[in-house]
C-alpha cells in the first residue's frame, strides 16, 4: 500500500508526459503544414460560447422550428462571406458555399474526406452498409456493384412510368381536381420506383393498397424520421431509444427481403437455362428490374437488401420534392404555366417519347430553375479523415489556403450557393427559367453533387420528372393556387414543402 501511491503517481506523470509529447509533435507538424502552405485562419462566426456553441445550436433549432434554417444560413453567409467556421461541442465545422472549395472536397481531394462515423452510425439501422453510409473500399465496392445496373437501366422506356402517371391523373379526377400535389407525388414516385427496383409496385395510388404496402410506406417514413433525429442528436445519439424506430427498420427490411428472395430465385433459374434462352420468355424480353440486375453481380442477400433500400430512399424524396417545387411555382405563375404548356403541346405525341421530351427546351429550363432555387439536397457535409489543406477558404476574404484538421466537418450548402448573385446575377432570387438559355454553370450549380460520388440516378430522376410534368401539362389546361402563403421549408434528408402544393386543376378539353 505504501508503494502503491507513488507508483500510481509516477504512472500518471509518465502517461501525461507521453500525451504532452504526442500533442507537441502534432502541434509542430500542423504548424509546419500551415506555414508551408501559406494557410490563413478562416473567418469565424461570432459566438457567445466558443467551445460548446450552445448559442449557435439554439439559434439553429429556433430557425428550424420556424421553417427558416436555410434562410438563417444565407444570412450568416451574407455577413461572413463564402466560408466561415463554427464551433459546436468541441468540433469545428467549416461552412461554405464556395464552388472551388466544394470541388476540392468532392473531387480533387476526394481521398481526404468521407461520410464519417456520424452519418454511418445514425443511418445504419435503416440503411445498413449501403452506398450512402460507407466510405473507402466498401463504398467503392457498392458503387461498382450498382454501376452496371445503371448502365443497363432503360430509363428512356416510358412504360416504366406511364402507368403510374395515368393513375395519378385518375386520382386527381376522383378528388374533384382539388389536391395537395406534393402528397400525391410522394406516393406516385414510391409506386413507380418500387416497380422499377423490385419488379412490383408498392401500389399506394390504387384504391385498395395492400396492408403490407401501407405498413411498409408508414414504416419507411418513421424509420427515415428516426434516422434524421439520430443525425441531429450527433454525439448524444446513444439517448435515442425508440422501439418503434427499430420495428420500422425491421418492417422495411422484411418487405425488401421478399423481393431479394425473388431476385435470387430468378438468378438461380436463369443460371439453369442455356445462354440463348436466358432473360427470354416466349421470345419476349422480360421487363427491366433493377434488383434482378444487381443480383447478376452478387448473391449476398444482405448486400442486395441494403443497396435497394438505399436506392429507394435516395430516389423517393428527392424526385417527389423536385416535382412539388415545380408545381408550387406553376400554381403561382400563370405566365410560366402558359409558356411551359405551349412548349409541351408543341412537341407532344402519343405515346410520349424520350425524343419528344428532349425537344421540350422550356421544360428543361423550368426543371433546372427549380433545382437551382430548391435543390432537393440543400445542405450536405463531409468529414476530413486526415489533416489536409484546401486551396481556398482561409483569410478574411476566404481566398487563402485553409488548414483542415482531421475530423473537422465541411458543410456545404447548394441552397445558399445557388442563390448567390455573383454566380447567377442580380435576380438570383427570382424564378426565371429563361436564364438557362445562356447559362453554362460549373461547380456553382450542383443539385446532383460532383466527383466520384455524383448521383448515379441523375438521368433517371430528370427523365421521370420531365415525363410526369409533360403528362400533367397535357392533361390539365390550368392550375389555381389554393394556398395564400409563401413556401415553408421542410428540411429532412431532403428539402420539401411544409405546406405542400394545395391547388385546383382544370382538365383539358
Residues lying near ligand HEM in the complex (CB under 6 A) are found at 131-132, 143, 311, 314-315, 318-319, 322, 376-377, 380, 447-449, 453, 455-457, 460-461
Task: Tell me the closest approach of the beta carbon of residue 392 to ligand HEM, in angstroms.
Answer: 21
Task: Tell me the closest approach of the beta carbon of residue 31 to ligand HEM, in angstroms.
Answer: 32
Task: Tell me the closest approach of the beta carbon of residue 113 to ligand HEM, in angstroms.
Answer: 11
Q: Which is nearer to ligand HEM, 39 or 118 (CB)?
A: 118
Task: Tell me the closest approach of the beta carbon of residue 129 to ligand HEM, in angstroms.
Answer: 13
Task: Tell me the closest approach of the beta carbon of residue 235 to ligand HEM, in angstroms.
Answer: 20
Residue the block writes with cell 389554393: 482
CA distances 474 to 188, 267, 346, 355, 433, Å, are 18, 41, 10, 17, 19
Task: Tell me the closest approach of the beta carbon of residue 120 to ligand HEM, in angstroms.
Answer: 12
Chain position whose Cβ is nearest to ligand HEM:
457
Secondary structure of 166-194 in the HEC alphabet?
A: HHHHHHHHHCCCEEEHHHHHHHHHHHHHH
* Stated length of the chain: 509
Q: Which is nearer to ligand HEM, 388 or 465 (CB)?
A: 465
Three-class secondary structure of residue 474 per DSSP: helix
Task: Tell me the closest approach of the beta carbon of residue 131 to ligand HEM, in angstroms.
Answer: 5
Q: Which is nearer to ligand HEM, 417 or 461 (CB)?
A: 461
Q: Which is nearer to ligand HEM, 394 or 456 (CB)?
A: 456
Q: Which is nearer to ligand HEM, 59 or 121 (CB)?
A: 121
Are 360 and 347 within 8 A, CB to CB? yes
CA gap 335, 318 in Å, rounded: 26
Geometric angle at alpha carbon 303, from 300 and 307, rounded to 5°: 140
CA gap 332, 400 in Å, rounded: 43
Q: What is the CA radius of gyration of the chain?
A: 25
Residues paired with 95 in a beta bridge: 84, 411
Task: Tell me the closest approach of the beta carbon of residue 185 to ligand HEM, in angstroms.
Answer: 11
Cα(first)–Cα(last) distance of the chain, in Å? 97
CA gap 293, 388 in Å, rounded: 39
Residue the block writes with cell 423550368: 366
Task: Tell me the closest approach of the beta carbon of residue 457 to ligand HEM, in angstroms.
Answer: 2
Q: Which residues contact 391 (CB under 8 A, 6 or more apart)?
A: 100, 101, 104, 401, 402
Are 122 and 237 within 8 A, CB to CB? yes
Query: Sign of the CA dihedral 462, 468, 474, 480?
Result: negative
Q: Which is nearer to ligand HEM, 34 or 453 (CB)?
A: 453
CA gap 274, 413 in Å, rounded: 52
Amino acid at each position: 500500500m505504501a508503494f502503491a501511491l507513488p507508483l500510481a503517481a509516477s504512472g500518471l506523470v509518465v502517461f501525461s508526459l507521453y500525451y504532452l509529447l504526442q500533442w507537441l509533435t502534432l502541434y509542430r507538424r500542423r504548424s509546419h503544414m500551415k506555414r508551408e502552405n501559406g494557410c490563413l485562419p478562416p473567418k469565424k462566426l461570432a459566438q457567445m460560447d466558443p467551445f460548446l456553441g450552445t448559442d449557435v445550436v439554439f439559434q439553429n433549432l429556433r430557425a428550424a422550428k420556424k421553417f427558416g434554417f436555410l434562410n438563417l444560413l444565407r444570412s450568416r453567409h451574407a455577413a461572413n462571406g463564402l466560408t466561415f467556421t463554427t464551433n459546436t461541442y468541441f468540433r469545428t465545422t467549416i461552412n461554405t458555399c464556395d464552388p472551388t472549395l466544394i470541388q476540392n472536397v468532392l473531387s480533387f481531394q476526394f481521398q481526404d474526406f468521407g461520410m464519417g462515423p456520424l452519418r454511418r452510425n445514425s443511418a445504419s439501422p435503416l440503411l445498413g452498409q449501403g452506398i450512402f453510409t460507407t466510405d473507402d473500399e466498401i463504398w467503392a465496392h457498392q458503387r461498382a456493384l450498382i454501376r452496371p445496373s445503371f448502365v443497363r437501366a432503360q430509363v428512356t422506356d416510358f412504360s416504366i412510368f406511364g402507368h403510374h402517371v395515368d393513375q395519378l391523373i385518375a386520382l386527381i379526377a376522383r378528388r374533384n381536381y382539388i389536391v395537395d400535389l406534393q402528397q400525391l407525388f410522394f406516393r406516385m414516385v414510391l409506386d413507380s420506383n418500387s416497380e422499377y427496383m423490385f419488379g412490383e409496385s408498392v401500389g399506394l395510388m390504387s384504391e385498395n393498397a395492400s396492408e403490407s404496402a401501407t405498413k411498409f410506406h408508414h414504416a419507411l417514413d418513421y424509420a427515415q424520421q428516426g434516422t434524421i433525429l439520430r443525425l441531429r442528436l450527433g454525439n448524444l445519439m446513444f439517448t435515442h431509444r425508440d422501439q418503434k424506430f427499430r420495428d420500422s427498420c425491421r418492417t422495411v427490411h422484411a418487405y425488401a427481403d421478399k423481393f431479394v428472395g425473388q431476385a435470387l430465385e430468378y438468378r438461380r433459374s436463369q443460371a439453369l437455362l442455356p445462354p440463348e434462352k436466358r432473360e427470354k420468355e416466349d421470345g419476349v424480353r422480360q421487363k427491366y428490374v433493377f434488383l434482378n440486375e444487381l443480383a447478376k453481380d452478387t448473391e449476398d442477400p444482405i448486400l442486395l437488401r441494403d443497396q435497394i433500400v438505399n436506392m429507394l430512399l435516395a430516389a423517393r424524396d428527392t424526385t417527389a420534392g423536385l416535382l412539388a417545387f415545380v408545381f408550387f411555382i406553376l400554381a403561382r405563375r400563370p405566365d410560366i404555366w402558359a409558356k411551359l404548356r405551349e412548349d409541351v403541346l408543341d412537341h407532344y405525341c402519343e405515346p410520349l417519347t424520350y425524343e419528344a421530351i428532349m425537344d421540350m427546351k422550356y421544360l428543361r429550363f423550368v426543371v433546372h430553375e427549380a433545382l437551382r432555387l430548391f435543390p432537393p439536397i440543400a445542405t450536405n457535409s463531409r468529414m476530413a479523415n486526415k489533416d489536409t489543406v484546401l486551396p481556398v477558404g482561409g483569410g478574411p476574404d476566404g481566398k487563402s489556403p485553409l488548414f483542415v484538421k482531421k475530423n473537422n466537418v465541411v458543410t456545404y450548402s447548394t441552397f445558399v450557393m445557388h442563390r448567390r448573385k455573383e454566380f447567377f446575377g442580380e435576380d438570383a432570387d427570382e424564378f426565371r427559367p429563361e436564364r438557362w438559355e445562356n447559362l453554362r454553370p460549373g461547380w456553382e450549380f450542383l443539385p446532383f453533387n460532383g466527383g466520384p460520388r455524383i448521383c448515379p440516378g441523375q438521368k433517371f430522376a430528370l427523365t421521370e420528372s420531365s415525363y410526369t410534368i409533360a403528362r400533367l401539362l397535357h392533361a390539365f389546361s390550368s392550375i389555381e393556387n389554393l394556398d395564400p402563403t409563401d413556401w415553408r421549408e421542410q428540411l429532412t434528408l431532403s428539402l420539401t414543402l411544409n405546406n405542400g402544393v394545395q391547388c385546383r386543376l382544370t382538365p383539358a378539353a
